[in-house]
Structure 1
Amino acid sequence: MRTLMLSAIIAAVGLFGLTAHAQEFRAGKEYVELAAPVPVSEPGKIEVVELFWYGCPHCYQFEPVINPWVEQLPEDVDFKRVPAMFGGIWNLHGQLFLALESMNVEQSVHDAVFSAYHNEGNKLDTPEKMADLLAKNGVDREAFLKAFNSFGVKGRAEQAKKLGMAYQITGVPVLVVNGKYRFDLGSAGGPQRTLEVADFLIEKERAAR
């Protein structure tokens, strides 16, 4: 009898924990459910998109928090970074990111770009300044400039602009899960809570399959 009672208590506590967690994050509070879901690039996976800008201090501070989380994501989750394209230097830096992504550079190169902007006062406001910095970090200068000005990268930049509009973003960093749920550090309650909201919504989508 005691064993049965203990099992019942444990089950009840577990159920309460799940219920409490489900109530903790709500649409309209920690995240927004988009009225018009945006198609994902790999329908067989749960997509998580981070929209960011190299010049954003919050994005820079979020990097050491989100990167370890990304590394341990399960195989059914597809993580993507998309540059926010609000015009001017945002678009220039977005094209920089997409060029580097097309070249499959190491994460350390992206770290160097962030650091140059935030710690060295290098605004990277011309392709030449970008190429000079990248050359110091092991990236071929001419190969970068070729990629930066390529038709493919410019086409992807246009796609990034359209995605930002479809997600209805007004700032960064922003996360979007499966093209349906949008949230940020402010709505979630800080960097770590942002990842907890992401985990919650990933599980929500996984359970709905």
Structure 2
Amino acid sequence: MRPLRRLFCIALVGLAAVQPFASAAEPQNGSQYLTLPTPQPTDTGKKVEVIEFFAYYCPHCYAFEPQLAAWVKKQGDNIVFKRVHVSAGASALPQQRLFYTLDALGLLDQYHQKVFDAMHVQRLRLGSDEQVMEWAAQNGIDRARFADTYRSFGIQAKLRRAGAMMEAYNVDHWPMLAVDGRYVTSPSRVHQGDTEMQQQQATLQVMDWLVDKAKAEKR
């Protein structure tokens, strides 16, 4: 298996070195976004599907979350937004299970930011099943119900599905965003601006363009 957990940090500086200049307002295929060689199926009808591939441990995903959440809210009914927690090695597996367990229990909206804050503000590792169980219980989630779901076949199926989607979308760094099963982009690919926040803002500008493009192609 590729050492996926390391690839984002490499990509942040590596992609910029090989990309020609392009404006976020007029992004170019092969530069600030890529067209997938094989389009992936979507089930969102006339709405545009947007998927974020992310990991809770990733500091860049944590930094991106506020701007991305605001962008999703602004898009409203224009898109259907989904998240995929990437497979990133044994130490991140409990966090991946945590994400899909919260989702299965209908608690993701309530606890998603709290997980990020636990790792990046409180500096909790959440690197073992027991640490995740303890965190869930301390945050008011019924431990037995959480544990049953966490260890269920359903969650195992979601983990396999996440791995398959990473392969299908050629995900080798994160955060990465996919639009309507055809286009992918990321702050490390856009790489416009002197700060990480500026790169994130430029990425969302590219996302606006890609959503409009995908929406027009659905007509």
When the two structures are superposed, what TM-score results if normalisation uses the length of structure 2?
0.81
Q: Deviations over 1:74-95 (max 9, x none)?
A: 3241100001113312333212
1:39 CA displacement: 1.1
Q: Which residue of 1 aligns with 2:6?
A: none
Q: 1:185 to 1:170 in 2, by over 3 A?
A: same
- Matches of 1:45 and 1:89 in 2, distance apart? 36
Preserved contact between residue 51 and residue 173 of structure 1 (Cα < 8 Å):
yes
Q: Which residue of 2 aligns with 1:139?
A: 141
Q: Which residue of 1 aligns with 2:65?
A: 63
- Matches of 1:25 and 1:50 in 2, distance apart? 19
1:129 CA displacement: 1.1
Q: Which residue of 2 aligns with 1:197?
A: 206
- Matches of 1:107 and 1:44 in 2, distance apart? 24
1:44 CA displacement: 3.6
- Matches of 1:106 and 1:40 in 2, distance apart? 22
Q: Give the SS at the match of 1:24.
A: coil
- Match for residue 130 of structure 1 among 120, 125, 132: 132
Preserved contact between residue 24 and residue 202 of structure 2 (Cα < 8 Å):
no
Unmatched segments (≥5 aa) in structure 1: 1-19
Q: Give the SS at the match of 1:51.
A: strand
Aligned length: 190
- Larger C-alpha radius of gyration, 1 or 2? 1
Query: Percent same amino acid among aligned pairs?
Result: 34
Alignment of 1:44-123 (within 5 A): 44-123=46-125
Letter in 1 for 2:141: V
1:159 CA displacement: 0.5
Q: 1:121 to 1:21 in 2, by over 3 A?
A: closer
**C-alpha RMSD of the superposition:** 1.9
Unmatched segments (≥5 aa) in structure 2: 1-21, 193-198
